Amino acid sequence: MTALTTRAPGGAVVALPGPAPRRALLTVLALLVAAAALLLPMQLASAHVVPYTTVQLSVTEEQVTAEVSVPLDDVEAATGTDLGNQQQADVDAEAETITDYLASTIAPTTADGEAWDVSIGDLTASTTGDAATTGYYQQLTTTLTLTPPEDASTSQFDLGWTAIVDSVATHQVLVVLAADATDPDFSGARQLGVVARDTVTGEVQGLTVDLQDGATAQESGFTAMVALGISHIAEGTDHQLFLLTLLLPAPLLAAAGRWSGTIAPRRTVRRILSITLAFTVGHSLTLALGALGLPVPQAPIEALIAVSILVAAVHAIRPLFPRREALIAGAFGLIHGLAFSETLRDLDLTGGRLAAALLGFNLGIEIMQLIVVAVVLPPLVVLARAGNYRRLRLVAAVLTGIAAIGWLLARLGIANPVADLADRLGTVSIPVVIVLWAAALVIGLRARSARRRVPSSASTTARRTAPSTARRQVPVTPGPRSEEPS
Angstrom CA distances, 380 to 312, 375, 440, 441, 444, stand at 17, 10, 8, 11, 12
Rounded Cα–Cα distance for residues 36 and 25 (Å): 17
Average of per-residue pLDDT across 234-251 = 83
| Secondary structure element (H or E) that encloses residue 58, with its range | strand 53-59
- Confidence at 12, pLDDT banded by 50, 70, 90: very low
Predicted local distance difference test score (pLDDT) of residue 124: 95
Please state the rounded mean pLDDT for residues 58-82.
Answer: 93
Q: Where are the beta strands (DSSP E) in 302-381?
A: none
Contact criterion met (CB below 8 Å) for 416 and 287? no
Give the pLDDT band of residue 465 (cuts 50, 70, 90). low
Q: How far apart are CA 137 and CA 85, in angstroms?
A: 11
Q: pLDDT-based confidence at 481, cuts 50/70/90? A: very low
pLDDT in tens, 431-451: 778 888 888 888 878 877 877
| Mean pLDDT, range 38-50, rounded to an integer | 41
**For the residues 84-99, what does the mean pLDDT come to?**
94
Q: What is the mean pLDDT of residues 162-167?
A: 92
Of 179, 250, 257, which Cα lies nearest the Cα of 397?
A: 250
pLDDT tops 90 at residue 122: yes
Q: In the prediction, which pLDDT does 256 show?
A: 84
At 447, the amino acid letter reads A
Checking if the pLDDT of 272 tops 80, the result is: yes
For residues 202 and 68, the model is more confident at: 68
- More confident position, 171 or 35: 171
What is the sign of the dihedral through the CA atoms of 102, 108, 114 and 119?
negative
Task: State pLDDT tens for residues 324-346.
Answer: 999 999 999 888 888 777 667 66
C-alpha 377/C-alpha 385 separation (Å) is 13
pLDDT at 422: 82
pLDDT of 240 reads 80
Residue 66 has pLDDT above 60, yes or no: yes
Phi, psi (5° rounding) for residue 472? Answer: -85, -5
Q: What is the pLDDT of residue 235?
A: 67
Q: What is the mean pLDDT of residues 219-246?
A: 78
Answer yes or no: is pLDDT of 57 > 90: yes
User: For position 20, what pLDDT does the model report?
Assistant: 46
Say which residue, 259 or 478, is predicted with more confidence: 259
DSSP state of 106: B
* Burial of 110 per CB tally in 10 Å (0-12, 13-18, 19+): middle
Say yes or no to pLDDT of 355 above 60: yes
- The residue type of 402 is I
Assess whether pLDDT exceeds 70 at residue 170.
yes
Strand partners of residue 6: 14
- Calculate the average pLDDT of the chain: 78
Torsion angle defined by CA atoms of residues 367, 370, 371 and 372, in that order, rounded to the nearest 10 degrees: 130
- Pairing verdict, β 172-180 and 53-59: parallel
Mean pLDDT of 83-105: 94
pLDDT at 218: 60
Q: Is residue 307 predicted with pLDDT exceeding 70?
A: yes
Q: Phi/psi at 369 (nearest 5 deg)?
A: -60, -45
Phi and psi at 191, nearest 5°, equal: -75, 130
- C-alpha–C-alpha distance, residues 346 and 178, integer Å: 12
Q: 221: pLDDT confidence band, cut at 50, 70 and 90?
A: low
C-alpha 285/C-alpha 58 separation (Å) is 31
- Is the pLDDT at 93 greater than 70, yes or no? yes
Triad 436, 437, 439: Cα angle to 5°: 65
For range 343-367, the mean pLDDT: 76
Q: Which residue has the higher pLDDT, 228 or 478?
A: 228
In which band, very low, low, confident or very high, does the pLDDT at 351 lie, cut at 50, 70 and 90?
A: low
Confidence (pLDDT) at 460? 55
pLDDT of residue 158: 93
Most confident region among 114-128, 131-145, 270-284, 466-480 by mean pLDDT? 114-128
Question: What average pLDDT does the segment 146-164 reach?
Answer: 92
Question: What is the model's pLDDT at position 455?
Answer: 60
Average of per-residue pLDDT across 127-144? 78
Element (H, E) at 175: strand 172-180
pLDDT band at 462 (very low <50, low <70, confident <90, very high): low
In residues, how long is the chain? 486
DSSP characters over 388-426:
-HHHHHHHHHHHHHHHHHHHHHHHTT---HHHHHHTTGG
pLDDT digits (tens, 9 = 90+) for 395-436: 989 999 999 999 899 888 888 899 888 877 766 677 778 888
pLDDT of residue 49: 54
Distance, CA of 195 to chain centre: 21
- Counting residues of the chain whose pLDDT is more than 70, the rounded percentage is 75
CB within 8 Å of 217: residues ≥ 6 apart: 177, 190, 192, 209, 210, 211
Return the pLDDT at 36.
38
pLDDT at 21: 45
> Is 248 buried (19+), middle (13-18) or exposed (0-12) by CB count in 10 A?
buried
More confident residue, 131 or 395: 395
Task: Enter the DSSP assignment of 115.
Answer: B
